[in-house]
Chain A
Amino acid sequence: MAREVALRLEIEEERPEPRKRWKRLLSTARKHPLGVFGMGCVSLLFFCGIFADLIVPYDPEATLRETQTYGTLVNAIKPNETRLTIANAQLEGGTNFDIDGERMTVLPLPAPKVSATGTIINVQRASSQSAHEAGATLELDTAIANTKPSWSHPFGTDHNAKDVLSRVIFGARISLLIGLTAIITGVTAGAFFGVISGYFGKIIDTIIQRCVDILLAFPAVVLLLAIITVVGDEDSSVRRFLANNTPLPKGEFIGIPTFLDVFIVALVIGLAVAVFTTRVVRGAVLSIKENVYVDAARAMGASDARIMMRHIFPNVAALVVILGSVLLPVAILAEAAISFLGVGVPLGTPSWGADLSDEKSRQLMLEGYWWPVFFPGLALSLVVLGFNMVGDAFRDLSDPRLRGSGLGGGGGGGGAGRGPI
């Protein structure tokens, strides 16, 4: 008997607690490969969003240019000469190029003439004092627009000669910023009104719930479009208030050129989140306030504020956190949708939705330049997919009845990552 106890103790000593936990985590991960994949997507979103300016290969706003060797000079040109013959080059009027460091501009008229030796063009010279020998190379300074995905530009460049990969990475930052701002403001406001509405009941409850009814009577996309048109207007009072009375930067901030516009979009999405949260939290509070400990606290003379803070709110906190994490992808998707419709963030902001809606890019896509639209959309889809897969895995793990059955969630389980769009 004694030996058995000693043996068991020994065994337990051999297995330290942390390794066991690791093993359990690993085996859980192996059972939910989709959840692991989703977790990867979500982590990538957070990583790219937080470290965007450290990991981007290029500036997402900068027009990329490169100097290109473009043909050679056929005959020597003397000072003051503006006519030259070049080999292997077709240059349009207005193009700039350099010969031995001297800047020249192709004159549109008279038109270039093609002869047996090369193309004869007329140029305007920056300094007419230098001569150039035959065989000197022409250096052309061009914008790198519409280049295919390659090693130097893994996602290619768009028609504005901007690096698509850098824009997608900054898009993660904008999505994350809008998502988190909308969720934090929305869920906080929603929890506040929900707790007050559920706790006080009567007239306060009626007023708040009728307001919620009215806001819920609109289809979400229509409501967002309408409010953003009004609030995002250049001289709307909300914008002026935010610009003048808050420390929010008016111009560029953390690499986002139109920070205020992005922030306003986030606040409007936050409003929609708040409406939904208010309704759900109120329902939970109605049952929580019937508990005996609430009566006990009141009997001990606790004030309403104290009861709400110390006894009601901690009990809805978990619900609020879950709501926030479920609504985060919905908020990200909502931003992309309204930016796609041209009402959200201003065009040119490296947001996924705005990049998808770029008229010129979409036109070029039909001609085979698919990458400037394809990759932002792919990033958006992967992020939403990631959140949904993580959500599914968690639901699986937390509901023992559905363990092993994959999808769970009973009644309304389906709608997790979807919502308004």
Chain B
Amino acid sequence: MRDYIVRRLLILVPVMIGVSLLTFSLFNIIPGDACVLRLGFGSTPETLKACREAHGLNRPLFPVSVNSDLPVIHVQGDSQYGGWLWDIVAHQDLGQSLAEGGAKVSTELERRLPITLELMIMTVIFALVLGILPGMLSAIRPNTPIDWIARVLSVLWLSIPSFYLAILMITFGLLWFGWTPPQFGRGYVPFMDDPWVNLQQFVFPALVLSVGIAAVIMRLTRSAMLEVLRNDYIRTAWSKGLRERTVVWRHALKNALIPVVTLVGLQIGALIGGAVIIESVYNLNGVGKYTLEAIIRRDLFVVQSLTLMFALVYVSCNLFVDIAYAWLDPRIHYN
């Protein structure tokens, strides 16, 4: 097990280097560098030069370059890519925005991360409740009205795009009940300051985001549960006269939940993508909205650092899921 974790961590290093290379070169093949984008057409050669010097864009792109003259491979000590990575690894410095004021990415993250984390945690809680309970009910009462309702619900939830659901909820909430979430016109209120307003701000975005994940969880719970209920030890539990509640909760559900746990971990990608969408619809100033704004503004330094962070979180979650799987299910061995 320890060997497996170490090996996975070792594979992670080249993958992350590849990810950083891809992100960096992706945003440097746009014609015109960051300064041209920032200053626009009104720039003179002098201001451009000053801007490039200020942001270090006059350095070579990569630490290694290949030329036709000898020696073929040149090594530059100071390069943009090298500097970017070194700042992240050694100083935890993610660079700063190109926009006026030039906010540091790390300060922005500090401010916005709690919002995104709260959204994600609430989403996962909702998804678990909305997914596991109906999934379990429809598995222990197959082909009854409960089962049919759960199945139709799950396919409906699976199909409705989160942004459409969000728009509908905002619109008809306002038109029919005259209610809008309190973040419109009022910034984020931390949970510690006013828990009630804070929950009002997050309950609907989290609900909207959780619906799709809940549908996937519901389907998986149902099929895993049906599978487990066919096992011999369930029959043994029934025949020794245990109550239904004990059989279902203690014997069946516990085992059926193993794949569900890993599924939740694997949904982190959908969760990050969903946060980008839902935060911009619900006007939550989280990391997702920050990313989208930076992409639309072409704020290259911010986008490349954020993309790298997302990839890192995503990859580590996947690794964590694999490890958790082995830990939960003692039958699985990694060699």
Interface residues of A (CB under 8 A from B): 34, 210-211, 213-215, 217-222, 225-227, 229-230, 233, 235-237, 333, 336-337, 340-343, 356, 362, 365-366, 368, 370, 373-374, 377, 380-381, 384-385, 388-389, 392, 402, 404-421
B121 beta carbon closer than 8 Å to chain A: no
Task: For B167, list chain A residues within 8 Å (CB).
Answer: 356, 362, 365, 373, 377
Instruction: Identify the closest chain A residue to B170 (Cβ).
Output: A366
Could you write out 22 A-B pairs with CB less than 8 Å apart?
A213-B15, A214-B19, A215-B22, A217-B311, A219-B269, A225-B276, A226-B27, A229-B298, A229-B303, A230-B29, A237-B29, A337-B273, A343-B296, A365-B167, A377-B161, A385-B160, A407-B154, A415-B216, A417-B159, A419-B270, A420-B269, A421-B274
B227 & A410 in contact (Cβ 8 Å cutoff): yes
Residues of B168-192 contacting chain A, CB below 8 A: 168, 170-171, 174-175
Task: For A389, list chain B residues within 8 Å (CB).
Answer: 155
B19 & A381 in contact (Cβ 8 Å cutoff): no
A218-B307 CB under 8 A given contacts A406-B151, A420-B273? yes
Instruction: Tell me, rounded to whole Å, the shortest Cβ–Cβ distance linking A251 to chain B.
Output: 22
B30 beta carbon closer than 8 Å to chain A: yes
Give CA–CA (A263, B217) in the complex, Å: 34
B61 beta carbon closer than 8 Å to chain A: no
B295 beta carbon closer than 8 Å to chain A: yes
Instruction: Identify the closest chain B residue to A378 (Cβ).
Output: B164
A214 & B171 in contact (Cβ 8 Å cutoff): no
Instruction: Tell me, rounded to whole Å, the shortest Cβ–Cβ distance linking B224 to chain A.
Output: 8
Task: For B273, list chain A residues within 8 Å (CB).
Answer: 219-222, 337, 420-421
Give CA–CA (A176, B295) in the complex, Å: 27
Task: For A415, list chain B residues within 8 Å (CB).
Answer: 216
- Describe B's contact surface by its main secondary structure: helix
B159 & A384 in contact (Cβ 8 Å cutoff): yes
Instruction: Tell me, rounded to whole Å, the shortest Cβ–Cβ distance linking B244 to chain A.
Output: 20
Task: For A392, list chain B residues within 8 Å (CB).
Answer: 155
A222-B276 CB under 8 A given contacts A342-B296, A385-B156, A405-B226? yes
Task: For A377, list chain B residues within 8 Å (CB).
Answer: 161, 164, 167-168
Task: For A413, list chain B residues within 8 Å (CB).
Answer: 219-220, 223
Give CA–CA (A326, B276) in the complex, Å: 24
Interface residues of B (CB under 8 A from A): 11, 14-16, 18-19, 22-23, 26-27, 29-31, 142-143, 147-148, 151-152, 154-156, 158-164, 167-168, 170-171, 174-175, 212, 215-220, 222-223, 226-227, 259, 263, 268-270, 272-274, 276-277, 280, 291-292, 295-296, 298, 303, 307, 310-311, 314-315
A388-B155 CB under 8 A given contacts A220-B269, A343-B295? yes
B155 & A217 in contact (Cβ 8 Å cutoff): no
Instruction: Identify the closest chain A residue to B15 (Cβ).
Output: A213
Give CA–CA (A366, B167) in the complex, Å: 10
B19 & A217 in contact (Cβ 8 Å cutoff): yes
Instruction: Identify the closest chain A residue to B14 (Cβ).
Output: A210
Instruction: Identify the closest chain A residue to B175 (Cβ).
Output: A368
Q: Which of B27, B29, B272 contacts A221 (CB under 8 A)?
A: B272
Task: For A385, list chain B residues within 8 Å (CB).
Answer: 155-156, 159-160
Task: For B263, list chain A residues within 8 Å (CB).
Answer: 414
B310 & A235 in contact (Cβ 8 Å cutoff): no
A226-B223 CB under 8 A given contacts A219-B310, A220-B273? no
Most chain A CB neighbours (cut-off 10 Å) among B171, B268, B291: B171
B26 & A381 in contact (Cβ 8 Å cutoff): no
Task: For A420, list chain B residues within 8 Å (CB).
Answer: 269-270, 273
Task: For B307, list chain A residues within 8 Å (CB).
Answer: 218, 222, 226
Going nearest first, the 3 A-B pairs with the smallest beta carbon separation are: A221-B273, A385-B159, A414-B219
A370 & B171 in contact (Cβ 8 Å cutoff): yes
Give CA–CA (A420, B174) in the complex, Å: 30
Task: For B171, list chain A residues within 8 Å (CB).
Answer: 365-366, 370, 373
Instruction: Tell me, rounded to whole Å, the shortest Cβ–Cβ distance linking A204 to chain B.
Output: 17
B161 & A414 in contact (Cβ 8 Å cutoff): no
A217-B26 CB under 8 A given contacts A226-B303, A418-B212? no
Give CA–CA (A341, B23) in the complex, Å: 20
A381-B160 CB under 8 A given contacts A227-B26, A235-B31, A421-B273? yes
B161 & A333 in contact (Cβ 8 Å cutoff): yes
Give CA–CA (A381, B156) in the complex, Å: 9
Q: Which of B26, B161, B303, B314 contacts A384 (CB under 8 A)?
A: B161
B270 & A225 in contact (Cβ 8 Å cutoff): no
A34-B155 CB under 8 A given contacts A217-B315, A222-B291, A337-B161? yes
Task: For B142, list chain A residues within 8 Å (CB).
Answer: 405-406
A421 & B270 in contact (Cβ 8 Å cutoff): yes
Instruction: Tell me, rounded to whole Å, the shortest Cβ–Cβ distance linking A412 to chain B.
Output: 8
Most chain A CB neighbours (cut-off 10 Å) among B161, B219, B276, B315: B161
Give CA–CA (A412, B263) in the complex, Å: 9
Instruction: Tell me, rounded to whole Å, the shortest Cβ–Cβ distance linking B147 to chain A.
Output: 7
Give CA–CA (A410, B27) in the complex, Å: 41
A366-B161 CB under 8 A given contacts A34-B155, A226-B295? no
Name 16 extra pairs, CB < 8 A, besides A229-B303, A385-B159: A213-B15, A214-B22, A217-B18, A222-B307, A226-B303, A366-B170, A373-B171, A381-B160, A392-B155, A406-B151, A407-B219, A407-B223, A411-B223, A412-B220, A414-B216, A421-B270
Task: For B216, list chain A residues within 8 Å (CB).
Answer: 414-415, 418
Give CA–CA (A397, B43) in the complex, Å: 65
Give CA–CA (A283, B147) in the complex, Å: 35
Q: Which of B22, B147, B174, B175 contacts A406 (CB under 8 A)?
A: B147
Task: For B277, list chain A residues within 8 Å (CB).
Answer: 221, 337, 340-341, 421
Give CA–CA (A420, B315) in the complex, Å: 15
Q: Which of A217, A343, A388, A414 contacts B220 (CB under 8 A)?
A: A414
B162 & A421 in contact (Cβ 8 Å cutoff): yes
